[in-house]
């Protein structure tokens, strides 16, 4: 099941060349988040949230916003294995994502259920294209909303922005 979820992740990588984790099919508690600074062909930050045994992932070119007045583009990427939350290192040049990966922040997150959009699970919220969660990290402590673009050809594009918890 997990392996199937990671098919795209595996297809993109040659594990003889990259030291990234293959994924061992296990969960580490269900509510981990990580933001990795990925200095690849274009510097970006990868936001990953643990949902049902994998890390749901987005590349955020401008980074996860720190203030309330910024809405940043977040491009949904393939699910990553749970172990990726601990990954730091150099992906060889020429390989997928070639460059350095550093953990920028990590910790636990909490799914926030909005009264006006009562999606019971993160999976349901992902399917709806509307998420709300609180990050409990060192650099990032705050509530965030993510909304998926509605246009058919932009389906992997989301916006991420900071919100007040009670909104």
List interacting residues with Mn ion (CB under 5 A): 38, 46, 59
**Which position's Cβ is nearest Mn ion?**
38
Asked if 161 contacts 144 with a C-beta cutoff of 8 angstroms, the reply is yes
| Residue number, 121 or 156, with CB nearest to Mn ion | 156
Q: Report the nearest approach of Mn ion to the CB of residue 30 (Å).
A: 23
Q: Report the nearest approach of Mn ion to the CB of residue 35 (Å).
A: 11
Query: Most distant CA pair in the chain: distance in Å?
Result: 48
Residue with tokens 């150099």, as numbered in its chain: 90
| Residue number, 93 or 150, with CB nearest to Mn ion | 93
Q: Report the nearest approach of Mn ion to the CB of residue 9 (Å).
A: 12
| Residue number, 38 or 72, with CB nearest to Mn ion | 38
Q: Is 130 helix (H, G, I), strand (E, B) or coil?
A: strand
CA distances from 40 to 27, 68, 93, 109 (A): 28, 28, 9, 26
| Residue number, 63 or 132, with CB nearest to Mn ion | 63
Q: How many CA atoms lie within 13 A of 155 on its CB side?
A: 5
Q: Report the nearest approach of Mn ion to the CB of residue 38 (Å).
A: 4
**Rounded Cα–Cα distance for residues 53 and 129 (Å):** 19
């Amino acid at each position: 099941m997990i392996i199937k979820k990671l098919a795209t992740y595996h297809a993109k990588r040659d594990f003889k060349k990259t030291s990234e984790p293959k994924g061992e099919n296990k969960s580490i508690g269900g509510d981990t988040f990580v933001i990795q600074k990925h200095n690849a062909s274009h510097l970006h930050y990868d936001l990953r949230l643990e949902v049902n045994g994998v890390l749901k992932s987005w590349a955020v070119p401008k980074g996860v916003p720190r203030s309330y007045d910024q809405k940043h583009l977040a491009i949904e990427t393939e699910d990553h294995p749970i172990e990726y939350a601990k990954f730091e290192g150099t992906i060889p040049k020429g390989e997928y994502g070639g460059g350095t990966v550093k953990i920028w922040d990590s910790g636990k997150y909490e799914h926030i259920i909005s009264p006006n959009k009562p999606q019971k699970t993160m999976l349901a919220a992902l399917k709806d294209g509307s998420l709300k969660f609180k990050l409990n990290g060192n650099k990032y402590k705050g509530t965030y909303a993510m909304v998926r673009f509605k246009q058919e050809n932009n389906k992997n594009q989301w916006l991420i922005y900071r919100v007040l918890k009670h909104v």
